[in-house]
């Protein structure tokens, strides 16, 4: 039974990204995505959904909140959101964290946020102030656990050491940029910190901005707001990785996207990759990863292709 390390949160092997809610997926489509995701998650796991106050300027949270209220799903779903930067001068100052948490609680229509992230590091605010503010939210029952996103290995280590010194709640999870096309930044430093401190790891851009779905190739025009970001991966390495994905996908009878997410889930320290779809059909291509079992040889081929 998957569990976020250091917590009582049982989560699904795939975390549904809520960044599309209210952006590339309107509210009815977002509801359909959430319904389909919950139906697919095994009964031994709790559907895990990730959002942030900055997604749609709160609209993503509001849509998720309305869906949970209408479906009566709050107790079934593990909800993660983030205190984002926006245009704040000191986004992780005490007052900003408290205000952000209150906005998210209202948007989500919940009493408690399961996992609350610092969306980006804020070097303008002392770590002591940030972590004390997060701890106050935990002690007040407004947040169950706290986490970090987009932190360097150095700053993450400093934050963990600061929590230990102060006796406050500490980050239990990390959300890094990590996938088959983006391995070095995580694997060279952050992975060791996560392993040493037994952090859960929840990588975002698990499909490399959609590139690993196989639809972005040289010379092809794709109507997607992520096309420009995915285009950076077109080239020799990208071709190699897509070929390996296609080969393993054919052997398994699933999509290459499902294989890419399963490879990521199987990596040391990873708890659940985050991925999203802007339609139920796109999401359906991802869901087989939930019960997909890759062989050692298949994982090796993917790892070597992406080196």
pLDDT digits (tens, 9 = 90+) for 74-130: 999 999 999 999 999 999 999 999 999 999 999 999 999 999 999 999 999 999 999
Active site residue 55: yes
Q: What is the pLDDT of residue 231?
A: 84
pLDDT for residue 1 is more than 70: no
Fold of 15-175: TIM Barrel (3.20.20)
- Whole-structure pTM over 0.85, yes or no? yes
In this prediction, what percent of the chain has a pLDDT beyond 90?
Answer: 94
224 CA to centre of own chain? 20
Confidence of residue 143 (pLDDT cuts 50, 70, 90): very high
Choosing from 55, 116, 171, 233, the catalytic residue is 55
């Amino acid at each position: 039974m998957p569990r976020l390390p250091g917590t009582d949160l049982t989560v699904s092997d795939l975390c549904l990204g809520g960044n599309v809610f209210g952006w590339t997926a309107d509210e009815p489509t977002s509801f359909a995505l959430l319904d389909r995701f919950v139906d697919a998650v095994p009964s031994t796991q709790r559907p895990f959904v990730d959002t942030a106050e900055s997604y749609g300027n709160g609209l993503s949270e509001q849509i998720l909140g309305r869906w949970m209220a209408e479906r009566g799903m709050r107790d079934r779903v593990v909800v993660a959101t983030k205190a984002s930067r926006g245009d704040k001068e000191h986004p992780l100052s005490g007052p900003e964290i408290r205000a952000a948490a209150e906005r998210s609680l209202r948007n989500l229509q919940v009493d408690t946020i399961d996992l609350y992230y610092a969306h980006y590091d804020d070097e303008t605010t002392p770590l002591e102030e940030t972590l004390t503010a997060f701890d106050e939210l935990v002690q007040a029952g407004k947040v169950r656990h706290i986490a970090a996103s987009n932190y360097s290995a150095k700053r993450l280590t400093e934050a963990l050491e600061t929590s230990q010194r102060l006796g406050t709640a500490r980050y239990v999870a990390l959300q890094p940029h990590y996938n088959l096309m983006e391995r070095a930044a995580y694997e060279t430093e952050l992975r060791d910190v996560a392993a040493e401190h037994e952090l859960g790891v929840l990588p975002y851009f698990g499909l490399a901005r959609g590139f690993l779905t196989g639809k972005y190739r040289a010379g092809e025009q794709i109507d997607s707001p992520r096309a420009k970001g995915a285009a950076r991966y077109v080239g020799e390495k990208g071709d190699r990785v897509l070929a390996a994905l296609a080969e393993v996908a054919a052997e398994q009878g699933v999509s290459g996207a499902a294989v890419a997410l399963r490879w990521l889930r199987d990596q040391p320290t990873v708890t659940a990759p985050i991925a999203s779809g802007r339609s139920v059909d796109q999401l359906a291509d991802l869901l087989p990863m939930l019960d997909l079992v890759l062989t050692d040889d298949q994982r090796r081929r993917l790892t070597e292709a992406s080196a």
